Amino acid sequence: MPSSIEQELEELVARYVSGDVSLREFQERFVPRAWSIDAAESGGAAQLANEVELLLAEFSNGHWTEDELKAELGQRCLSVHAAQTRLDVAQAPWLQSSTSSSQGRQPAAATRYFGVPSRF
């Protein structure tokens, strides 16, 4: 079972991915919370924080568009806990079908993390 810190971080990721909060608001909430984690105390939370921080750094360096960032966060960082949140996956723009290779992983992410049957 994920720690309360890990659940809090996953919920922040899920809220950003679903469009409930802006990128700026997500960063303002996530980064200070992630930096306060003691790696020895909470391994799962530390691993999640490290993964998200890496993706944010790659985004900041121009390696991802914001839609690609959301897709990567959804694919790599959300666990079963996130599937229990109330996300309106059908309206998430980053889950729409695309011929772009960078977005080709998105339908699988939707199915795996949100239990949404693939319609793509």
Residue 120 counted as domain residue: no
Nearest Cα to 51, choosing from 29, 24, 69? 69
Residue 86 counted as domain residue: yes
CA 6/CA 24 separation, integer angstroms = 20
Residue 56: predicted pLDDT? 95
Residue 96 counted as domain residue: yes
Q: Which two tokens stand for residue 108?
A: 């699988």
Asked which of 3-17, 28-42, 61-75, 88-102 is least confident by mean pLDDT, the reply is 88-102
Give the confidence band of 63 by pLDDT, cuts at 50, 70, 90.
very high
Rounded mean pLDDT, 82-103: 48
Amino acid at 107: P
Residue 57: predicted pLDDT? 95
Q: Domain range for residue 38? A: 4-114
Whether pLDDT at 88 is above 50: no
Residue 119 counted as domain residue: no
Whether pLDDT at 111 is above 60: no
Give the confidence band of 3 by pLDDT, cuts at 50, 70, 90.
confident
Structural domain total, the chain: 1
Residue 47 counted as domain residue: yes
